[in-house]
Structure 1
Amino acid sequence: MLEHPVVVIGAGPQGLAVAAHLVERGQNVVVVERGTGPATAVAEWAHVRLFSAWPELTDAAARRLLAPTGWTAPSSGYPTGAEWVSGYLAPLADLLGERVRYATTVTGVARQGRDKVVDAERASQPFVVHAVDADGHESRILARAIVDASGTWSHPNPAGADGLPAVGEGRAASRISYRIPDDVSAYAGLHLVVIGSGHSATHAALRLSELARREPGTRVTWLMRRGAATHLFGGGAADDLPERAALGGRARKVIESGVVELFAGFRVSEFRDEGGALTIVAENGSEVTGVSRVFALTGFRPDLEILSEMRVAVDVSLEAVAGIAAEIDPNIHSCGSIGATGARELTQPEEDFFIIGAKSYGRAPTFLALTGFEQARSVAAYLAGDVVASQSKQLVLPDTGVCGGAGDFDTSGGGSCCTTPLVQLQPTRVAVN
């Protein structure tokens, strides 16, 4: 099947990285991207500043390919999403040229002439990528291998605490956003609610706190499902990513100052429209009333529908690649670094098919760009026949310095792999109407 290319789904940071490694190794590659330009998902959070510095946001093979063009790798600073695209991802996509096909949405992947059930000569058949363009025209691309780097951005989790939309969440859709807000000036004087406890929720709460300081009458309430917020402020000096630590420090300040009101253990079960304002009801009956706008930032999940005719091994709880799930499970791992993962761990029952990037982590929230670049390097080496390079480990991830995996969901203690939390928080009040 060597006459067929490797098809990479997604022209984001990891998709472009694996393409760069394949090109460097002389392999034929095609990248299909649903958007009209590179890194569509990153462009949608262009206003958000990353907590990873520039050296952690560029891939080694990409740097080598770009260097002869006169491009210089940024050596310091923390870019916004827009700066990441313009300063690195767009130049890399331009270099890859016609290998990247834009406005091409993948609707499914299969083995040619074989549905999921058929064993006969399955491995000898090329993959076939079903796609549709912006005008609705369907196409088929034959491939010798598939790398799914489509990410999770287009599938945010709902606000409902049980993983399904809360009662009334659909009816309240016009007042619920699942994205970090950019221009918040239109919300002056309103009661704004953030739901979630990760970095996206923290970014949103901080952005809204700036509005609350400027505009009297603006109220910001932060709801989190966990029973305690010991993990929320990060690892401080113990965090190897200083900007990630600073993000937690800023969150501590806005909560302790009263600019943002935090309620732990609030697990959303219902949204009610009462007199033109929303009331948010928790599973225990607690309520937050008079809400004008909600920012539900409760994580993401992978889209596995396009893989319905593929034989894919994913973890039953995380929906992560089965081979790495035990190493990234937030019910177990909440301190320090996880190990680097490569082609060996990402291997699927379907030979020469790989899921990399954020999608490989499923619902686990601990993915870093560095992780994806190492996956891209290893998978590309494997597909090029360099098994030794594919099995080597060339990455040590930065420590978080913080406890707080899902293991402490109902308690005030630290995560399951630590004895004592590095950051202590006074008990938070429960919101009661």
Structure 2
Amino acid sequence: MNTDQKNLPVAVIGAGPVGLAAAAQLIERGERVVILEGGSAVGHSVRKWGHVRMFSPWSYNIDAAARRLLEISGWDEPCGKELPTGRDIVEKYLEPLASIDAVASSLRLSHCVISVTREGLDKVRSHGRAERPFVIRTLDAAAKLTSYRAKAVIDASGTWETPNPLGADGLCVPGEDRVSSHIDYGIPDIAGSRRGDFAGAHTLVVGSGHSSFNAILDLLRLKETQPETTVSWAMRKAKLGNTFGGGSADALPERGELGQKVRAAVESGAVNLLNPMAIDRLSQATVDGKIMVDAIVAGSSLALEVDRIVVTTGFRPNLEFSREIRLRIDPALECAEKLGPLIDPNEHSCGSVRPHGAAELAHPDPGYYIVGMKSYGRAPTFLLATGYEQVRSVVAEISGDHEAAARVELKLPETGVCSLSEPVEVAKESRCGETELATLPVVPAVEPGSRCCG
């Protein structure tokens, strides 16, 4: 890396929890940073699930370097075992962090990244790649193109904007695009701003993870005051197995209770369970505007008429803007290649992921890292604390502190985030007390919409 390149900033793509944690780590190490966020405010994607309550308490959702920056500003840290909503994360954590001068001066909102490349080199050319800075091109709200030069790139853009389509084959089912106004991907605000769309309607929820649980329970609460509300639930699984989770044995009580409530609703007949179900086609009825769902359920044809569909089948990474970067991607999961075997849902019950950092996240183009939810590609689970450990290690490597980059500062259970393993203890810092041993629960993806064992 030449002198000019060393003096360039590190570009962080995305101003969500992991992106701002990366920025905090960089600022703490005295690195220059530019944060490129496609939305008009920090936590753009988190705001879209702001109504959803997380399973993990505040102590596991705050990055250590971010906490230290916030403490200097006199921030009042949320304490105790309170479970924040997405809105709480934005208002009580991300917005205060973004208002700190060192972060605010580095933040570029409404700057959607459309391409990343090596200066003057396409993907094919090899000679001198490592000596060329990265060039990140963005498009702002006024359709103005801007280019940023950087010595390294940390892509924390997440996967929320690219949900999986409805088809079991990974494709949109025929007719999905034509009835898109009747489909929600993720967890819509059924009990709040979207209540009018679902009250008294027949909704088909597709998926088998905790996002589907949230949607189903919201619909059932709506049914208490709007008895005409009907809930059908479709999943691809033939056997329910551990679909409903560990109940009272779950390390996170809220998560365990969620699954048991859904189990009870299915057993009582309040929810019409359809499994295994594969949807073949969607079409709109000409008379009443309802959606006709043609599917195969347990080997037999089914024609189902519904008003709305909620798709909770997970997300996938958008790798298009890094097309000119040399990446090392797992061919099945589209995650960092070295993580693939550890989180492959074909081999693991949601994966048994050892702590990892810069070494596992490195790509053939030195200085380019994909972190956070996007680093897991299509894998169904992700732990926010894992994302914070990722960026701590990556930033240490970028700063030349190879010893810190290789060091593991987070201990995760060997059996993975969806097992019923015993929790582990990790050191944590908190304004609620001195440095202490904190019990790390066995927690699922903290970005609602990702699937757990689904």
Aligned-pair CA distance for 1:376? 1.0
8 Å Cα contact 1:271/1:278 also seen in 2? yes
Alignment partner of 1:87 out of 76, 89, 92: 92
The aligned amino acid for 1:91 is P
Tell me which of 238, 244, 260 is aligned to 1:227: 238
- 1:129-166 CA distances to partner (integer Å, 9 max, x unpaired)? 01111101101000000000000000001111111000
Cα separation, 1, equivalents of 2:199 and 2:150: 52
1:315 to partner: Cα distance:
0.7
Given that residues 112 and 126 in structure 1 are in contact (C-alpha distance below 8 angstroms), is that contact kept between their aligned partners in structure 2?
Answer: yes
Matching residue of 2:372: 357
Q: Which residue of 1 aligns with 2:434?
A: none
Who is 1:113 aligned against? Answer: 120
What's the offset of the Cα at 1:251?
1.6
> Quick one: distance in 2 between partners of 1:272 and 1:132?
36
**Which residue of structure 1 lines up, in the alignment, with residue 77 of structure 2?**
73
For residues 390 and 239 of structure 1, the distance between their equivalents in structure 2, rounded to whole angstroms, comes to 32
Counterpart code for 1:213? E
- Give the superposition deviation at 1:337: 4.4
Alpha-carbon displacement from aligned partner over 1:18-63 (angstroms, at most 9, x marks no partner): 1101111111111100111111000111111111111110001111
Give 1:282's aligned amino acid. A
Where structure 2 has 5 or more consecutive residues not aligned to the other structure, the ranges are 422-454
Alignment of 1:232-247 (within 5 A): 232-247=243-258
Counterpart of 1:400 (choices 414, 418, 421) is: 418
**Alpha-carbon spacing, 1:285–1:202, altered in 2? closer, same or farther (3 Å):** same
Name the SS for the 1:286 alignment partner. strand
Is the 8 Å Cα contact of residues 16 and 44 (structure 2) preserved in structure 1?
A: yes
C-alpha distance in structure 1 between counterparts of 2:314 and 2:371, whole Å: 18
Percent identical residues: 45
1:302 paired residue number? 317
Q: CA contact under 8 A between 1:128 and 1:143: conserved in structure 2? A: yes
8 Å Cα contact 2:36-2:111 kept in structure 1: yes
Instruction: With the length of structure 2 as denominator, give the TM-score of the two structures.
Output: 0.86
Aligned pairs (5 A) from 1:91-240: 91-95=96-100, 96-182=103-189, 183=192, 184-186=194-196, 187-240=198-251
Does the Cα contact within 8 Å between 1:277 and 1:289 map onto a contact in 2? no
Query: What secondary structure does 2:6 align onto?
Result: coil
> 2:270 matched to which residue of 1?
259
How far residue 402 of structure 1 moved from its aligned partner, in angstroms, is: 5.4
Is 1:39–2:43 an aligned residue pair?
yes
Distance 1:216 1:5 in 2: 57
Whole-angstrom CA distance in 2 between matches of 1:133 and 1:297: 30
Paired with 2:391 and 2:412, the residues of 1 have a C-alpha distance of: 15
In the alignment, the residues of structure 2 paired with residue 357 and residue 218 of structure 1 have an alpha-carbon distance, to the nearest angstrom, of 37
CA distance in 2, matches of 1:277, 1:34: 35
Deviation string 1:219-263 (CA, Å, 9 cap, x unpaired) is 100101111222221122333222222221222122222221212
Could you tell me how far apart the structure 2 residues matched to 1:264 and 1:393 are?
Answer: 42
Distance 2:420 2:241 in 1: 9
Deviation at 1:288, TM superposition (A): 4.5
> Which one of the candidate residues 278, 291, 295 is aligned to 1:282?
295
Q: Secondary structure at the match of 1:134?
A: coil
Q: Tell me how far apart the structure 2 counterparts of residues 146 and 371 of structure 1 sit (CA, whole Å).
A: 19
1:427 alignment counterpart:
none
1:19 to 18, 23, 32: 23
Matched, 1:348 2:363: yes
Residue number in structure 2 paired with 1:431: none
Displacement after TM superposition at 1:280 (Å): 1.4
Secondary structure of the structure 1 residue equivalent to 2:213: helix
Q: 1:396 to 1:267 in 2, by over 3 A?
A: farther
Contact 2:335 2:374 in 1 (8 A): yes
- Tell whether 2:382 aligns with 1:367: yes
Contact 2:163-2:185 within 8 A present in 1 as well: yes
Partners of 1:154 and 1:81 in 2: CA distance: 16
Contact 2:166–2:172 (Cα < 8 Å) also in 1? yes
Q: C-alpha distance in 2, partners of 1:341/1:93?
A: 27
**Mapped contact 1:336–1:402 kept (Cα < 8 A):** no
The structure 2 residue matched to 1:3, chosen from 4, 7, 17, is 7
Find the counterpart in structure 2 of residue 50 from structure 1: 54
Say whether the 8 Å CA contact 2:116–2:134 is kept in structure 1: yes
Are the counterparts in 2 of residues 4 and 142 from structure 1 also a CA contact under 8 Å?
A: yes
233-242 or 8-17, larger mean C-alpha shift: 233-242
Deviation of 1:16 after TM superposition, in Å, equals 0.4
Structure 1: how far apart are the matches of 2:92 and 2:269?
38
Q: State the distance in 1 between where 2:351 and 2:144 align.
A: 47
Using the size of structure 1 for normalisation, the TM-score is 0.90
Structure 1 pair 392–29 and aligned structure 2 pair: CA distance change class (3 A): same
User: How many angstroms apart in 2 are the aligned matches of 1:379 and 1:245?
Assistant: 34
Instruction: Provide the C-alpha distance between the structure 2 equivalents of 1:181 and 1:378, rounded to a whole number of angstroms.
Output: 35
Distance 1:224 1:402, change over 3 A: farther
Q: Partner of 2:222: helix, strand, or coil?
A: helix
Structure 1 unaligned runs (5+)? 404-433
Aligned-partner residue type, residue 347 of structure 2: I
CA distance in 2, matches of 1:251, 1:390: 42
* Deviation at residue 311 of structure 1 after TM alignment: 0.3
**Alpha-carbon deviation of 1:335?**
6.0
Query: Which moved further from structure 2: 254-263 or 22-31?
Result: 254-263
| Partner AA of 1:63 in structure 2 | R
